[in-house]
Chain A
């Protein structure tokens, strides 16, 4: 694409900026810090404007922006942030796909939905924030932002099969965390 300056501004105003709310919330859930989230969102929007010619007008701007934000976070932001990643994600994924992990998940199968509903926002936030970042991203994109598997596959640069397995593991872990809170709060019997 080659847009005129006027078109660039129009696309930016009409198709990019309306996603600011979702972008800021996504950035906050990744960085867990309001100032860092602001920097990340600003950085993403500047990149988006700079590369706006690679965006096809009228296509999925939200997914396009989320992809830039996620890549900025992984490639640039996390390197200089306080919490450097020391985790080999391939290794993490292999572990979470293992049999050993499945038995851990089964322990949470007694979680009851009424107990889950009694949890408050803080506990939900702590549970999701404590997930390893790739799993946290999967839950946010699917369950909070409502992206399809295909959109997630493009945002994350992974095949749809990996989207499915990552979601599966992320949900198992989240259930485990929520179950811990529900137990602590006395909503569930300690097993």
Chain B
């Protein structure tokens, strides 16, 4: 999977809480229904405040499509919506479960301080 170093635009810089795992963000966005690129970007901003750059978004889309976790739908004019596949949903659940465990453990440690 592509590096996630340059995953957000400059406006997210300086925000220590921003989350930047483009493939996971795309999967989470598509979990609420098919979307095209621009709709995904806006939805991801609403989910976690991270605004993915267009290059980053399509890097993630191309690789998720390659892995069979999302699939393209018929284009609407020049915009092509994508939807999450059954495999993609399974991967999203697994990743979110891991994140949940990680978050729980992290909070426990913070509370113990």
A and B bound?
no
Binding site for A on B (CB under 8 A): none
Binding site for B on A (CB under 8 A): none
